Structure 1
Amino acid sequence: MAEVASSELKGMDVPSLVLFGTDIVTFSVDLAIAYSILLAVSLTLNLEAGYSGVPNFGKAMFVAGGAAVAGSISGRLSGFILGVDTSNYVNRAPLIINNLNSLLAANLFLSIEMLLLGLALAAGVGAVLGFLASYPAIRLREDYLGMLLLASAQFFQILLRGYPPLIGGVIGIEVPDFFGWANTGRGARDVVILGVVGLFTVLVYLYFERVARSPLGRTLRAVRDNEVASRALGKDDVAIRKRVIVIASAICGMAGALLTFYVQSVGPDTWSRQSWTFPFWVIIIIGGAANNSGVALGAFTYAFILKAVDKAKFLFQGFLPFDVNWLEYLAFSSLLLLVLALRPGGILPEKSSLTLQRETVATIVQTKADNLAQKGDDSSTKANDS
């Protein structure tokens, strides 16, 4: 039975609803934030692999690049603006971040400005990495390109671990809390972050949906299905794929920055291929490639299973012949095999795109039918007259 948890309200506390020992409101907010970030990155992979045929197995590199640069530079720049000593930043990061957070919490406009600047830096870094990664797309086939991007992401993670001045090497560093002004009560900060991340994801979804329904979307499908035919029709498939990778990588960088500002830290081990490359492929396969609605459904399925299993797995401790931490992998593997066996195209497979609106097509067909009927009547009238 659900019971409303009674707690002393302070400021703007988020209501609490406890069910089976779990705060449903907190769980829902955490789930929604994770879902929003997963969906944003999954949509970029869907644009690349689903619509354009670019097998990007290096997603971790673009997300990590945006997160690392945004997290590193935003702290140093905030200290410079607020007059906080940032010398020996990596080693003194906890002390510096504590001073910055107390000042940023009282300065709403500066916090928002630094947040937007961090997102812009992340987008720029993601776009640059995407531009550099797009060059192999010209020369390599899809299978070799996928392996190259996978290796590049691993190399980038090793670079982050081996270069401490950026994000502290293997230890990582803390990041300023640009949402500290929202800490007016229990859970209020997370709700504000959910609003920001949710707005970002909605804009990304609407943008990709518009692209998919535009002539560019049909061009991407043509390049994916038959490069020779698209070239014969005058389409520059190399330039198109370059732009797709750059745009998708910029959005990935912004998603990584948002996650970094949410958790207030950044480290190299966060951006492993197990967490930030393969899950997005699972999402697309489950939901349906080249279908943004299917990707949204797949991302929700993945996020819900991930959070639900994480909450409940320790209840099975001692009852299973293996470590309960493997439960989520078993759940995703089983779901993936089930979808591939029953619906190989995903839960919501790709739909054929209409070049015109249905109403327009119906009007054209009706007009042609009326014209044919009119010509038939005219021919009959002439035959009768003769």
Structure 2
Amino acid sequence: MDPPRAEVYKAARECRKAGIKVTMVTGDYGLTAKSIAREIGLTDPDKPLTVITGDALKTMPDKELRHYLEGEVVFARMAPEQKYRVVSMYEKMGKIVAATGDGVNDAPALKKANIGIAMGGTGTDVAKEAADMILTDDNFASIVGAIKEGRGVYSNIRKFLIYILNSNMPEAVPSVLFLLSGGAIPLALTVMEILFIDLGTDMIPALGLGREDPEKGIMDRPPRSPKDHLINKDVLAKAFLWYGLIASIIATAAFFIANFYRGHIFPNLPASGWDYRQATTVTLAAIIFCQIAAVLNIRYARQSMFNKYFFKNSMIFIGIIMEIVLLLCISYVPVFQSFFGTEPLNAHDWIMLVCIPLPLILIDELRKWILRKESKNK
């Protein structure tokens, strides 16, 4: 018997940590299968391991098989139809099943599984035809690596969505306040300024989030439910009730503070002129600085941003620099000022604006610390 590959030990441990159950279904003898499963850490060493042979499975009712599948089990001396039965029972239990195999006898199980994975090197043509995926290096650890990458991609898509959705709230609040006040509170953002955020400053940081590596601990989380949607209540809550709400409060406060510095208080707020354009520019800049904090916070769902990989994703920081450069351009270049309805900002405005990201980062770091502590205590 060939010894297991060195990387299989780590892959088996990662599967258990990730809530992925690996069941060995083999044509080898029971003692051999049990020995290998224990050696590579495929099963929980603290739980009893049951070995079920093909002969025993022939007369075993579904209810009893289901009971064994809920625990630690290894199947030995199995016929093709019995492998098919094991896969079918897992699916009836509501599990998402990936089956691996290389022979003609494995084809029915590969076809039945949610994801059939055939060996590319040793696999037969029949197995490859029946499978959904071909593993070119015949390495079990590659499957675990693919799961990790898949979780990372899924997580990055959600980060992307949270980032692009959260700025919608501070963009919408000025219109709501304008309507509710009957026009007493002027629009704190012009249409062109809103488009500048959505089509200008948000783009590169959002794309940068899509390039993030899988977060540390992503394989320590249980699999997500098949019923869980990409845009779920957690994504919406983070986008609108956390990052979006905070940005709305800060941007609205910045608008009123900018007016106050220029001698205007509610309800006597200007709706046009130099002071009005400066106030809308301050509001626009406040949202951009909130977005700078947001993209840094959203990079990690639970892990602190202050880690050794902080500067690894260069696109994030290129995006932040571009946001500031674009803001300076529309604030100080005359042709852009007339197009976007902006005006130059004074020293008071800049002092207020550059102070925005730090408290937002610290607040979110506290939230993540609480999440990590709660997760550790479970």
TM band (smaller chain) = under 0.3
| Rg larger for | 2
TM-score (norm 1): 0.25
- Write 1 or 2 for the structure with the bigger share of helix: 1
TM-score (norm 2): 0.25
